[in-house]
Amino acid sequence: MTEFEKTELGKFIEMIRTERDLSQRQLAELAGISNTEIWRLETGERRRPSPDVLKAIAPHLGVRYEDLMIKAGYMEETWNISILPK
């Protein structure tokens, strides 16, 4: 895993957080986790955050939990294709 891949999730979280005009501390308080954990996520120090952390921050970032799970490498992106009957 390259340094870019390790920080891709963190940069994504930081980008969304700043777009929503939230500080790290505000996001942490909303999600019920420490602001140090948010810092670790954004800097790439926390390479694989727990699914519980991702679930806690997702609604406050306005993103789907599944999207964070994909970015963190827990799930693969899949196509949800429904074929309608004729």
Name the burial class of residue 61, with classes exposed (0-12), middle (13-18) and buried (19+) by CB atoms within 10 angstroms of its CB. Answer: buried
pLDDT in tens, 11-40: 999 999 999 999 999 999 999 999 999 999
Its pTM stands at 0.80
pLDDT in tens, 38-65: 999 999 998 889 999 999 999 999 999 9
How far apart (Å, rounded) are the C-alpha atoms in residues 24 and 28?
Answer: 6
Domains of the chain: 3-71 (1.10.260.40)
Tokens of 69: 């799970």
Is the distance from CB of 23 to CB of 33 less than 8 angstroms?
Answer: no
